[in-house]
Structure 1
Amino acid sequence: MDAADLTLSFISPDGGRLTRDLSGGEVRLHARSEQGDQAVALLPASAAEAREVGAALMRLARELKSARVQVPATEHASALAAAALGEGWRDARYRQRGPGEPQLLVAGLTGDEQARVEALGAGVTFARELVSAPGNVLNPVTLAREARTLEALGVDVDVWDGDDVAARGMNLLAAVAAGSAAGPRLIRATLPARGEAHTVVALVGKGITFDTGGYSIKTAAGMATMKSDMGGAAAVLGAMRSLAALRDLIPDGVEVRAYVAAAENMVGPHAMRPGDVYRAANGLHVEITNTDAEGRLVLADTLTVACEEGATELVDLATLTGVKVSALGNDIAALFSSDETLTARLKAAARDAGEHVWELPLHQPYLKSYRKGTIADLKNSDMQPAGGSIKAALFLAQFVTRPWAHLDIAGNADREEVATGWGVGTLVEYVLAR
C-alpha cells in the first residue's frame, strides 16, 4: 500500500507544546517531510467533535494538495469519516482541471460501518451534484432522468408529465411551471417494504430547478443562487440513493416513497400572474398574490397526492423562506410538525446525523392573514415577512391529512457556493430508526 501524503495522529491534552492552545475539533500541521506530512488533533470526545476533526483534516489536505490521508482508529470513526468525505467533495464536472478528492483511509471501521458511511456518502454526493448543476443542465425533465438512475439500485421510479399532472388536478404545480418550456414533472421513487407494508413514509421535496420569482421577479443578486432552489428535492432523492444501498436495515413493513414536485418558475406568456386563482388537488382555491411564493404551491399539491396514495406519515424539505435564514442562519433548519412523536424522531435523527434543527410553532392565528382580502379560500402570501416561515408552514398544513413535518432548509442547501447535501443524513437516520 502506498504511503499516505498526510497522516493524522491523536494526542493527549498534556502533549506539551504540541497541544498548546489546541482545542477539541482542531487539526494542526505538525511536521512536513519528503515521506509525508504529519498532523495532530486531540482524541475526539464525541461524534460532534469527530466531525469537526474530519472536516478540518480534509481542509488541511486540500491546502497541502494531499492525495492520500490516513486516520488512526477512534471510537467515533464513522462520524469522522462521513464528515471528512463530505468536506473533501468539490464539483469538478465543469472544470477542465478540477481538483481531485483526496483518498481517505480511516482505521477502525467495521465492515458494516464502512458500508453505511459509503452509502451515506453516495447519497450526499448525489444530492450535491443535483444542487450544484446549473439551470441550463438541470431542469424538470433532466431531474426526472437523474431520478431514474435509481432504478439500477432497485428503486421503482414513476414520472408524471404535464398531462398527468393536470389529470390529477395538480393545478398549483401546473401553474408554477406554466412559464417554462420544460413543463412540470411529478417524480415518485419507491423502495417497497419487505413483507406487508404497515407504514408508508413519504419524503416530499421541493424541486424548483430555477426560480426567477416569476412576475414577482427577484433582484439580480437574489436570483444568482436560485439553481439551488431544489435542495429539498435533492435531499429526498439523495436519501433514496443511500437507503437503496442500506435497504436491509430498513425495518420490515416500512415502505419509503420520495415525491418530488419539479418545475421552473419562469416568466412567459402562459406564466401565472398575481391575482390568478387556481384550484388545488384537494379542492381548495388559492389566489396568487406573490408568484415568488411558489414553493408552497408545488408542495401543497404533492402533499395532497402523497396523502391520497396512502402515506401514513410525511416529511417535506424545502428551501422555502428567506426569513428562515434571518431567524436561524444557514446551519440550522426550521422544523414544524403536527405530531409530537414524529417531531421527536426527527430531532433524534438530525442529532445522529450531525445536522441541526430547531422547532418553531405552528401558531394558528397567523393563518388568518392568508384568508383576509382574498376571493379564494387562501392566498399564497400576505406580503409581510414577519412570521413568514410560520405562515408558509401553516399554508402547507392545509394540504395534509396525516402526521406531517416540514423542514425549511433555506440557506442549508449550499454554503459559500458549495452544495452541502443537507438533509440526506437526517432522512436516512429517520427511516432506519423507524
Structure 2
Amino acid sequence: MHFTGPLTAPDLTLHFVSPDAPPSRLTRALKPGEVRLAGRGEDQDEAVALAPQDAAQAREIGRALAGLAREVGARAVQVSPTEHAAAFALSAAAAGWQDRRYKSPQEGEGEDAAEVQLHLEGLSADEQTRLAGVLRGLTFARELVSAPGNALNPATLAREAQKLEGPGGLEVEVWDESELRARGLGLLLAVGAGSETGPRLIRLTLPARGERRRVIALVGKGITFDTGGYSIKPAAGMYGMKNDMGGAGAVLGAMAALGELAGQIPEGVEVRAYVAAAENMVGPRAMRPGDIYRAANGKTVEVTNTDAEGRLVLADALTVACDEGATEVIDLATLTGVKVSALGNDFAGLFCNDRALASGLQAAADAAGELLWELPLHQPYLKSYQKGTIADLKNSDMQPAGGSIKAALFLQEFVTRPWAHLDIAGNATNEETATGWGVGTLVEYVLGAR
C-alpha cells in the first residue's frame, strides 16, 4: 500500500463504530481489532470495525484491513477518521507489503499490480509525509533482508546503500578489504576471509543542520549469509541465514527514512551509520577454531566458534563509531538464538550501559509499536570469555546458558561511549517474511533527540 489523497472512487471503505453504540446486525459480537466485511457492491465494498481505543488496537485493525483488501482484491482503500490515524496507517501499509521481485508476473499483470492506494481521512499533510518516509525505510529494509544470498552479498549490499545518497545531504562511503586492512579491522576481515566476495564496512553520514552538538551512531550486523563457517550449521539451521543481516537492513532502512525526513531531525543532530558486511563461508582462507585475530581497538580475540561471527564484525564497527566521535552508539543484530528462547519473536532484547539512552530507546520503541525488554549486563559472566585462552578474549565459551548476556558483554569491550545493543534475533522475520523491525524505533529515537 502507499498513501494517497482523497479517493474519488474507492473500492473498499472502512467505517468505525463506537464500542458504546448499540450493536446492530452488522456489528453484533464485533471484537476490538477485528475488521468485518459489511457489504459488497458492484463497484465498492464496505467494512466496519470498532473505533480503536489505543495505538495498539489501531495497528491490529490496520493489519486486518490489509488482509481484507488482499482477499477482496481492493486497489483503492478509504478509511474514516480515527484519533490513532498514524499508527493505523503505517500498520496497514506495512502489512500490505509483498516481495514480488522474484515471482513471475501473472498474465495481464502490470508492474504496479501489488500497489494499493490508501487514504485515511483526517491524516495531516505533515503526518502523511512522516509516514511515507518511514514506510520507504521499512520497504528498503525488508527488500534487503528478503533478498536471497545469491543476489545480496557484501559488495551488492554496499551498492544498495550507495543508492541512498542525496536526500538530506546523505553521504555513503565504502571501505573494501584494502581499506579495512589499512585501518586494522582484523575481526571483520577474519569473518569475511572465507568468501569469494570480501567484507565491506559501509559508512553513511547524514550531516547536522547548523552547529553539530550530538552524533548518533547506528551500527548494523550485515552477515549477508551465514553458513557458520567451519563450525558449520546443520541443514535446518542454515536455511534462512540470508536474514542474518537484519540489523544492517534496519539501520539502512532507518537512514533511508531519515534522509527523506532530514528537515524533521532536530538541529545540531548528526546521524551516522556503520554496517559491517561479510559472508561467513567455508574456504581456503576462512578462519578456523583456535585462530587469533586483532581487533580495531587492539584487543586480541581467539575464535573458539566460527558461528559466533556477528559479535566479531560488530566489535570492529563499534570501535570505529566510537573513535570517530559518536556521542551515543546503538547497534542492532540478529545475534543469538538463545534470545529467541528467552523472549520469543515479538520482543527484542535491550542491553544498555546508560540509563538515559535506555529510556529514550524504550520510549521510541513504544511510539513505533515495537517491543523491547531490557536484560542485564551482568559483568561476572564475561569471565568465561577471558579464561582458558592466550588471547584477551574468546568469542564464545560454547555454553548456551546466559549466551545473549555474554555476547552483549563481549561487545561492551569495544565501546567507549553510551551504548545500547538490540538483539533482534527472531524479530527480523515473521513466518519467513521480512519485517523491517527496528526501523521505526530508530527513526522515532532520532526524530525525538533533543
Looking at structure 1, the residues matched to 123 and 284 of structure 2 have their Cα atoms a distance apart, in angstroms, of 57
Q: What one-letter code is carried by the residue in structure 2 that aligns with 1:15? A: P
Looking at structure 2, the residues matched to 424 and 105 of structure 1 have their Cα atoms a distance apart, in angstroms, of 23
Residue 252 of structure 1 deviates from its aligned partner by 1.0
Q: What one-letter code is carried by the residue in structure 2 that aligns with 1:182? A: T
Residue 390 of structure 1 deviates from its aligned partner by 0.5
Residue 86 of structure 1 deviates from its aligned partner by 0.3
Looking at structure 2, the residues matched to 17 and 349 of structure 1 have their Cα atoms a distance apart, in angstroms, of 41
Looking at structure 1, the residues matched to 308 and 231 of structure 2 have their Cα atoms a distance apart, in angstroms, of 9
Aligned to 2:31: 23
Q: CA RMSD in A?
A: 1.0
> Is 248-257 or 96-105 further displaced after alignment?
96-105
Aligned to 2:18: 12
Aligned to 1:48: 56
Work out whether 1:348 is the aligned partner of 2:363. Answer: yes
Looking at structure 1, the residues matched to 443 and 130 of structure 2 have their Cα atoms a distance apart, in angstroms, of 10
Aligned to 2:80: 72
Work out whether 1:83 is the aligned partner of 2:91. Answer: yes
Partner SS, residue 25 of structure 2: helix
Aligned to 1:35: 43
Choose which of 255, 261, 264 in structure 1 pairs with 2:279.
264
Aligned to 2:120: 106
> Is 335-344 or 89-98 further displaced after alignment?
89-98
Residue 16 of structure 1 deviates from its aligned partner by 2.7
Aligned to 2:294: 279
Q: What one-letter code is carried by the residue in structure 1 that aligns with 2:196? A: A
Residue 101 of structure 1 deviates from its aligned partner by 3.2
Aligned to 1:58: 66
Aligned to 2:431: 416
Q: Normalised by the size of structure 1, how large is the TM-score?
A: 0.98
Looking at structure 2, the residues matched to 18 and 64 of structure 1 have their Cα atoms a distance apart, in angstroms, of 18
Partner SS, residue 165 of structure 2: helix
Counterpart contact for 1:199–1:253, Cα < 8 Å: yes
Residue 195 of structure 1 deviates from its aligned partner by 1.6
Looking at structure 2, the residues matched to 2 and 12 of structure 1 have their Cα atoms a distance apart, in angstroms, of 26
Work out whether 1:239 is the aligned partner of 2:248. Answer: no
Choose which of 296, 299, 312 in structure 1 pairs with 2:327.
312
Looking at structure 1, the residues matched to 236 and 39 of structure 2 have their Cα atoms a distance apart, in angstroms, of 44
Choose which of 162, 171, 181 in structure 1 pairs with 2:186.
171
Aligned to 2:219: 204
Residue 19 of structure 1 deviates from its aligned partner by 2.8
Aligned to 1:127: 141
Residue 2 of structure 1 deviates from its aligned partner by 4.5
Residue 18 of structure 1 deviates from its aligned partner by 2.7
Aligned to 2:102: 94
Q: What one-letter code is carried by the residue in structure 1 that aligns with 2:93? A: L
> Is 282-291 or 96-105 further displaced after alignment?
96-105
Matches within 5 A, 1:134-213: 134-153=148-167, 154-213=169-228
Q: What one-letter code is carried by the residue in structure 2 that aligns with 1:83? A: S
Partner SS, residue 163 of structure 2: helix
Looking at structure 2, the residues matched to 297 and 367 of structure 1 have their Cα atoms a distance apart, in angstroms, of 15
Partner SS, residue 257 of structure 1: strand
Choose which of 370, 391, 410 in structure 1 pairs with 2:406.
391
Work out whether 1:223 is the aligned partner of 2:238. Answer: yes
Looking at structure 2, the residues matched to 72 and 28 of structure 1 have their Cα atoms a distance apart, in angstroms, of 15
Partner SS, residue 19 of structure 1: coil
What do the CA deviations read for 1:109-136 (whole angstroms, capped 9, x no partner)? 1110000010000000000000011101
Q: What one-letter code is carried by the residue in structure 1 that aligns with 2:249? A: A
Counterpart contact for 1:208–1:265, Cα < 8 Å: yes
Looking at structure 1, the residues matched to 412 and 28 of structure 2 have their Cα atoms a distance apart, in angstroms, of 53
- Which stretches in structure 2 are left out of the alignment for 5+ residues? 1-6, 107-112
- Which stretches in structure 1 are left out of the alignment for 5+ residues? none
Looking at structure 2, the residues matched to 197 and 105 of structure 1 have their Cα atoms a distance apart, in angstroms, of 38
Looking at structure 2, the residues matched to 416 and 260 of structure 1 have their Cα atoms a distance apart, in angstroms, of 25
Residue 17 of structure 1 deviates from its aligned partner by 3.3
What do the CA deviations read for 1:83-107 (whole angstroms, capped 9, x no partner)? 0110000100011127613221111
Percent of paired sites with the same residue: 70
Counterpart contact for 1:90–1:101, Cα < 8 Å: no
What do the CA deviations read for 1:157-197 (whole angstroms, capped 9, x no partner)? 00000011111111000000000011010001000011221
Partner SS, residue 279 of structure 2: strand
Looking at structure 2, the residues matched to 208 and 87 of structure 1 have their Cα atoms a distance apart, in angstroms, of 26
> Is 14-23 or 395-404 further displaced after alignment?
14-23
What do the CA deviations read for 1:404-432 (whole angstroms, capped 9, x no partner)? 00000001111111110000000000001
Q: Where do 4+ consecutive residues of structure 1 move more than 6 Å?
A: none
Counterpart contact for 1:296–1:320, Cα < 8 Å: yes
Aligned length: 434
Counterpart contact for 1:285–1:378, Cα < 8 Å: yes
Partner SS, residue 291 of structure 1: coil
